[in-house]
Chains A and B, each alone.
Chain A
Amino acid sequence: MPTDVERWKSEVYGNEIREHLLEFAEQGWDTIPEDERDAWFERFKWWGLYHQRNGQESYFMMRIGTPNGVLTPGQTEVVAEVADEYARGPAENPIFGNGYVDWTTRQSIQLHWIKLEDIPEIFDKLESVGLSTQQACGDSWRNIVGCPVAGKDKHEHVDALPVAMELNETFKGNDDHSNLPRKWKVSVTGCREGCGQGDINDLALEPATKEIDGEETKGFNIRIGGGLSRNEPRLARDIDVFVTPEQAPEVSGAISALFRENGDRDNRYNARIKFLMDEWGAEKFRNVLQEEYVDFELETAGDDLRSEYSYNSGYADGGHSDHVGIHEQADGNYYVGLDVLVGRMGVDDTKELARVADEYGSGEIRITQRQNVIITDVPEEKLDALQDEDLLDHYSPDPHPFMRGSIACTGTEFCSLSIVETKNRQVRYARWLKENVELPAGVEDFHIHLSGCTASCAQPQIADISLRGMKTRKDGEPVEALDIGLGGGLGENPNFAEWVTQRVPVDEVPGAIKNLLANFEERREGDETFREFVARTDEEDLAELVEPEETSYEDPMMHNTKRTWYPYADDDSLDASPAPTHGDGTPIASDD
């Protein structure tokens, strides 16, 4: 039997949602019939709008898709202006204030507290500079990710940016691919360091070389079925196919069509293509693709570059582990990667970022999969002055490793799925760790990813220390807790973290990390990295090294933050919520 979501999608989905969305915006949130709200909220996702969680009715999260993380000159300023004018809520976040921009792990942008009534104006502003929310969420081609410095990088095998952009052009708003069984995440990587993180995507194009008709041809190998969600993480599997950049759109479309026709529409938990890959295996997948979806003979896989991958690898192999810092581009200019702690930047700082990028670079900004931003195209002679800008005091190109390595998802502040508070907590953790914990000598990259639930938006399984939202009891009372995983990472031989210690009360996690690092330092052999240490230590021993402990760290959010309308409000009880509200923010009275 088709699910509710499939039934709603079969009635109205894709591009046509927009006219309904604009009509409801015109008439007001409360004109959406109550018994149709869930159906419309599900559909609105296709246009980048998520209705926020219980207690925040009538407010939306808006996601803006920026293919490959590229914000062309002029776009960042508009994002900041939109956030300033429209992304202000009825309560303030104690760390980030009111009005901020979230840079995401899929190189996109998220704004919160958006009112439906403002959507027409917001769309006009975004679209005036070529930005769009189309397909940023929903069951279709999501924002395409890749190496954030594609086209600029000195370490590039093939320039993947035109391919990513062509895929975006071809499959955004494409009616044949607008209603898939589930989300469709695509990564296109051209660099030699694996920055596209293809292994955790539904469809990954990875750099490769193939001898075709006696000529060495550069292009991509294809992998399928990666993903981290739902306690079912999978690495994308090699289907033994090579494509040239010219063939990439056609073959990618064929794979998307195969998913459209064969994915499970009866069970959304089983709908992602990773489960079809589980069922079929790579060989059958390739055979079906060849026989039913592609009109020419597919090439077998070429020679890949995976042995050179350094990005988020946890190995000290000399390559980039992220894009923070100052790096020379292929054209002799420089890119400057700034650390944005947990990816959240206030509107004033975002405006400053746009100004600084314009003054010192080309005005372009790139978003990374580690929730950071990059100012590109900076001439060498402007580097010193750029580094003197106040903005770089806060968003440093040379941050402390605990700041640099922190990633966090949205969490219970806004998200229905999350079990715990995340972003503010990760900021508190990083600050406490920086003040209280010494990293072993030479450790400059140390990744801690905090995800509020098994959806894994913070990509916890591929970090040195993986934190995942959970619950436990402490002194008999239910409290927020975290599972702790160790030793995940990508690179040549990616692997997911081992969940060695579970349900640690959130106030004991910083102590656990402190003790773990001390134990690592004591047992470390030579210059081995943390991931290498974890790899050679058995799981039971690792669990003993974690040692959760209360410390001077205090956590103000131990309670069920989901049972608040907004965890940082003075009166946070659900009854105190002003939502739902009219377009101007005044509460809609229940007898309205």
Chain B
Amino acid sequence: MSVSLRVLDDGAWVSVNDAREVSVSELWRLDDPSFCGCELPDFVVENVLDVGADGRTVSAKVYGQCIACGQTGVPGWVPVGRLREGEFVDIDRERVVLPVRRADDDE
């Protein structure tokens, strides 16, 4: 089943199957100590740069900053939801810790 994934509104939204599902301005807790040195960066999402799917996991590349230390930048791929029979299933991104996949994890 093909799934349409897009970044819309100049980076304001992740769209899945033509529905806006993930917005900028959320606060995410990332499991990515290499991003800024904070153990679990408290990351505000300012712009969505890219979206992709790895199996059933929908992930996004986003620009933003850690509100604890101020470090700005682009962490690795951040999981933002799951696909179940082609449908997007949201996760509570503001309340769970999101495991970030860095580029070198691909190797």
Chain B residues positioned under 8 Å from A54 (CB to CB): 13, 20, 23
- Measured between alpha carbons, how far is A502 from B11 in the docked complex, in Å? 22
Closest residue of chain B to A55 (Cβ to Cβ) is: B20
- Measured between alpha carbons, how far is A503 from B67 in the docked complex, in Å? 7
- Measured between alpha carbons, how far is A418 from B24 in the docked complex, in Å? 8
Interface residues on B, range: 20 to 34
- The answer to whether A470 and B44 touch (CB under 8 A), given A419-B25, A478-B94, is yes
- The yes or no answer to A37 lying at the interface (CB within 8 A) is yes
Chain B residues positioned under 8 Å from A390 (CB to CB): none
B46 close to A268 (CB less than 8 A): no
- Measured between alpha carbons, how far is A503 from B72 in the docked complex, in Å? 13
Chain A residues positioned under 8 Å from B11 (CB to CB): 269, 417
- The yes or no answer to B4 lying at the interface (CB within 8 A) is yes
A38 close to B67 (CB less than 8 A): no
- The yes or no answer to A536 lying at the interface (CB within 8 A) is no
Contact with B along A477-497 (1 / 0, CB 8 A): 010010000000000000000
- Measured between alpha carbons, how far is A4 from B15 in the docked complex, in Å? 12
B10 close to A471 (CB less than 8 A): no
A417 close to B12 (CB less than 8 A): yes
- Measured between alpha carbons, how far is A471 from B25 in the docked complex, in Å? 7
- The yes or no answer to A560 lying at the interface (CB within 8 A) is yes
B10 close to A472 (CB less than 8 A): no
- The yes or no answer to A35 lying at the interface (CB within 8 A) is yes
B4 close to A35 (CB less than 8 A): yes
Chain A residues positioned under 8 Å from B15 (CB to CB): 38
Chain B residues positioned under 8 Å from A478 (CB to CB): 27, 94
B67 close to A230 (CB less than 8 A): no
Contact with B along A12-55 (1 / 0, CB 8 A): 00000000000000000000001101100000000000000010
Contact with A along B35-61 (1 / 0, CB 8 A): 000000010101101000000000000
* Contact residues, B1-43 vs A (CB, 8 A): 4, 6, 8-13, 15, 18, 20, 23-27, 42
- The yes or no answer to A382 lying at the interface (CB within 8 A) is no
Interface size on A, residues (CB 8 A): 30
A417 close to B70 (CB less than 8 A): no
- Measured between alpha carbons, how far is A416 from B9 in the docked complex, in Å? 7
- Measured between alpha carbons, how far is A80 from B9 in the docked complex, in Å? 29
- Measured between alpha carbons, how far is A478 from B13 in the docked complex, in Å? 20
User: In angstroms, how far is the closest chain B Cβ from the Cβ of A20?
Assistant: 18
User: In angstroms, how far is the closest chain B Cβ from the Cβ of A115?
Assistant: 20
- Measured between alpha carbons, how far is A398 from B8 in the docked complex, in Å? 43
- The answer to whether A38 and B8 touch (CB under 8 A), given A54-B23, A453-B46, A503-B67, is yes
User: In angstroms, how far is the closest chain B Cβ from the Cβ of A574?
Assistant: 11
Contact with B along A339-369 (1 / 0, CB 8 A): 0000000000000000000000000000000
Closest residue of chain A to B8 (Cβ to Cβ) is: A38
Chain A residues positioned under 8 Å from B26 (CB to CB): 471, 560
- The answer to whether A471 and B27 touch (CB under 8 A), given A35-B18, A454-B47, A478-B94, is yes
- The answer to whether A560 and B47 touch (CB under 8 A), given A4-B6, A38-B15, A503-B67, is no
User: In angstroms, how far is the closest chain A Cβ from the Cβ of B44?
Assistant: 4
Closest residue of chain B to A418 (Cβ to Cβ) is: B25
The contact of B18 among A38, A418, A420, A470, by CB within 8 Å, is A38
- Measured between alpha carbons, how far is A34 from B50 in the docked complex, in Å? 22
Contact with B along A393-433 (1 / 0, CB 8 A): 00000000000000000001000111110000000000000
User: In angstroms, how far is the closest chain B Cβ from the Cβ of A566?
Assistant: 15
A416 close to B12 (CB less than 8 A): yes
Chain B residues positioned under 8 Å from A38 (CB to CB): 6, 8, 15, 18
Chain A residues positioned under 8 Å from B20 (CB to CB): 54, 416
Closest residue of chain A to B19 (Cβ to Cβ) is: A34
- The answer to whether A34 and B27 touch (CB under 8 A), given A268-B10, A416-B12, A473-B67, is no
B44 close to A471 (CB less than 8 A): yes
B67 close to A417 (CB less than 8 A): no
A to B CB contacts below 8 Å, 13 in the list: A54-B13, A54-B23, A230-B47, A412-B25, A417-B11, A454-B46, A455-B10, A471-B26, A471-B67, A472-B44, A473-B27, A478-B27, A503-B67
Known: A453-B46, A470-B67. 7 other contacts (CB 8 A): A412-B25, A416-B13, A417-B24, A419-B25, A419-B46, A420-B25, A502-B70
9 closest A-B pairs by beta carbon, nearest first, are: A416-B12, A419-B25, A471-B44, A416-B9, A417-B12, A478-B27, A472-B67, A35-B18, A562-B25
